Amino acid sequence: MDRSRKSDVDISSRRTSNPAQDKSGKRMNATRGDSFSAPVSPQANADTLDMLDFLNEMNDELEGALDVIGPNPHLRMALHLLNGHFTGKTITPTALIGASRVPYATATRRMSEMIEAGLIEKRARTRTGKSFSMHPSQKLLEEWLQLSGRLHRLADLRFGGAHRSRETQDYYFGGSYASAHSIPALSVLSEPLKLSGGLRVLVHGDPTFMVMESLKQQFEQVIGAQISQRAFSIDRLRVEALRNSERSVSRYDIIAVDLPWIGEFAEKGVLMPLDAVMDPERVDPADFHTAGWQAAHWGGRAYGVPAQTTPELLFYRRDMFAKAGLEPPTSTDELLHAARTLNEPRRRRYGIAWNAARGTALGHTVLMTFADFGQPVLDLPEIAGGYGTSHLARGEYRATIDTEAGLQAAEFLRELLDYSPPDILSMSWYERVRPYAAGTVAMAYGYTLLAPYFELDEMSPANGQTGYLPHPAGPGGRQIAPVGGYVLGIPANLAPERIPAAVEALSVFTSPSAQKLYVQNGSRTNPRYSVGADPDVRRTSPIFEAIDQMSWRDELQFWPRPPVPEINEIIRICGEEFHDMLRGLSSPRETLQKAQARADALMRPGRDP
């Protein structure tokens, strides 16, 4: 099934504290109804909340055991404030005073002391400014992060015995230094955003954006405004974004944009250039993976901030490879050998799954397979590490499909068909990963955002047994991991009075603290170096270390899907012509010739593809 046939979802009115679940408690993907396990806590992971509970209970024990020990109002109020922040609950001054367990006048003085010390942020709840909500300041959050880490290590050191973690064992040898660089939790904005009707966001219905939806209550607390989020399938998302650009005033404050659309959306005036509404340095461009940040540009200007950087990798079963005596494949020949060896149709086990559904899904596969053989789909100039795209806004390019490298790629795909599941020609984005998670295929090409299907499902045979590789390379190519993902941008037709608030919300959603939060709640995408290096993030999945290594080796590349205005149609053309080839209706050479002719016609004014 192609993604264009998936149902769309308006999730603006869904419950945010408990996203859609099946009867087993697993969170459901909003676009398809497919089950995948993911944490659904609104802010913190279990360790953070456990530590807060532990300190509260310890205080109860101490105060109850010894009459001379009275309540510590500073600590009691700090713990109550942090718990409310991490669980998305609004804390009023009255509630904070009540949590102190000391007389009202004493609690009021202690609360004032905490405000003066910069530990508490007061935020007006009404226009009159007479009612306030109380929030932990950035200072308190940072101090709590350091304290909780030290308490964990002390408890492990004193009571962990032989089971002490490597991190604790290495405390005096650099382990604590790494933990000290943990990214702090999100802090609230000092002033709530003023947006009539709340913040309106248009996104893609994938696991990462669904994690954002499950965190909606927390983000509403951070920005001080309600959030309405609509999620669409990828093809419908593009249609809705283009339709929205034709309206006199945008219905959305922020929209998610697939990386290949950047050129089209810039040329058609769908998005505002980032530098027209904010200083791009504010989002720390150097912290983003280079490929993800460059892919957000058109004509030298950024048109959004990366929200997801999700390379397509080769997932492979390490246990199956070890049993068969196979090495992880680095070349297309080695990949075919592994697929052939592990393909056992009689046992309903197959070598590999991939995007082969007609249209958009297979079109993406074709472009990425061209890249594996060293062939971009456009005549891009070679540069160090790959191919250049900075000139594309000048329109100086043509399609390069019918080439010898293209022929090798086509023949590779046709051979790959022999070691794939029988329904491969209808498999697309989620369908290719589901059989991998179920243990019926040994390898699968898949974006990192799909890893939760097996990483968060303890019943999956692939759980804990998956290795992550860049695409194996064909002759003339080198191993790369084609970068996908989304940026968040501001519609060009957004009402002027809403732009400042949209910029603030955009900065919050793409911040390191927010990105870390997505990961802790089930996402496996990350656009920032700092988040990938965070020790808490590293502990969630080996995928982040693998991606960082690929980035440093310059294997993350976005040129396989160059963001020209015609790219969506080029993808569709390839997805249709190559599907006919895989069905046996045309030869590889005929397929290349037809796709080349249609792409050439597309790029000539006045001609139909």
DSSP characters for 103-156? -HHHHHHHHHHHHHTT-EEEEESSTTS--EEEEE-HHHHHHHHHHHHHHHHHHH
Query: Is the model's pLDDT at 17 over the cut of 70?
Result: no
Confidence of residue 411 (pLDDT cuts 50, 70, 90): very high
Distance of alpha carbon 525 from alpha carbon 203, whole angstroms: 15
Beta-carbon-side half-sphere exposure of residue 270 (alpha carbons within 13 Å): 27
Which is higher by pLDDT, 559 or 87? 559
Please determine, for residue 61, whether its predicted confidence score (pLDDT) is greater than 50: yes
Give 399's DSSP letter: B
For the chain, the average pLDDT equals 85
Query: Mean of the pLDDT values across residues 189-200?
Result: 90
Find tokens 């290495």 and name the residue.
170
| Residue 160, pLDDT score | 59
Is 44-136 in the same CATH topology as 5-41+184-309+484-552? no
Determine which of 91-95, 163-167, 469-473, 578-582 has the lowest per-residue pLDDT on average: 163-167
Mean pLDDT of 260-276: 96
pTM of the model: 0.74
Q: pLDDT value at position 151?
A: 75
Top mean pLDDT of 69-78, 82-91, 169-178, 405-414 is at 405-414
Confidence band of 556 (pLDDT split at 50, 70, 90): very high
- 9 to 246, 250, 339, 487, 601: CA distances (angstroms): 22, 19, 37, 20, 36
pLDDT band at 72 (very low <50, low <70, confident <90, very high): confident
Provide the pLDDT for residue 49.
Answer: 73
Q: Is the pLDDT of residue 191 over 80?
A: yes
Average pLDDT over residues 322-343: 98
Percentage of the chain beyond pLDDT 90 is: 58
Please state the rounded mean pLDDT for residues 551-556.
89
Name the least confident of 136-150, 393-407, 494-508. Answer: 136-150
Q: What is the pLDDT of residue 158?
A: 65
CB burial of 250-284 (b: ≥16 within 10 Å; e: otherwise) equals bbbbbbbbbbbbbbbbbeeebbbbbeebbebeebe
Give the pLDDT score at 74.
87
Q: What is the pLDDT, as a whole number, of residue 33? A: 33
pLDDT band at 136 (very low <50, low <70, confident <90, very high): confident
What is residue 67's predicted lDDT score, i.e. its pLDDT?
73
- List the domain boundaries for the chain: 5-41+184-309+484-552, 44-136
Q: CATH assignment of 5-41+184-309+484-552?
A: 3.40.190.10
Q: What is the mean pLDDT of residues 438-463?
A: 95
Is pLDDT above 90 for 153?
Answer: no
Please tell me the predicted confidence (pLDDT) of residue 580.
98
pLDDT tier at 177, thresholds 50, 70, 90: very low
More confident residue, 139 or 440: 440
- Find the range with the poorest average confidence among 16-25, 159-168, 317-326, 330-339: 16-25
Q: How confident is the model at residue 56 (pLDDT cuts 50, 70, 90)?
A: confident
Spatial distance between the Cα atoms of 484 and 262, rounded to a whole number of angstroms: 12
Tokens 């309903």 found at: 348
Tokens of 487: 């940026």
Dist CA 250 CA 596 (whole Å): 37
> H-helix or E-strand containing 332?
helix 332-342
Q: What is the pLDDT of residue 10?
A: 41
Instruction: Using pLDDT thresholds of 50, 70 and 90, give the confidence band for residue 531.
Output: very high
Give alpha helix (H) positions in 464-527. 499-509, 512-520
Of residues 396 and 265, the one with the higher pLDDT is 265
Fold of 44-136: Arc Repressor Mutant, subunit A (1.10.10)
Q: What is the 3-state secondary structure (H, E, C) of 264-277?
A: HHHHCCCECCHHHC
Q: C-alpha dihedral over 569, 258, 503, 182, to 10 degrees?
A: -160
- Average pLDDT (280-291) is 91
pLDDT for 491: 98
Q: Under a CB-based contact definition with an 8 Å cutoff, are residues 240 and 256 in contact?
A: no
In this predicted structure, what is the pLDDT of residue 47?
Answer: 66
* Residue 244 host element (H or E): helix 234-245
pLDDT at 16 over 50: no
| pLDDT score recorded for residue 381 | 94
Q: In one letter, which amino acid is 62?
A: L
Please give the pLDDT value at position 181: 65
The span from the CA of 226 to the CA of 166, in Å, is 43
pLDDT at 188: 87
Residue predicted with more confidence, 89 or 529 = 529
Which of 45-59, 206-220, 562-576 bottoms out in mean pLDDT, i.e. has the lowest? Answer: 45-59
Residue 46 has pLDDT above 70, yes or no: no
Distance CA 120, CA 111 (A): 8
- pLDDT of 156 reads 67
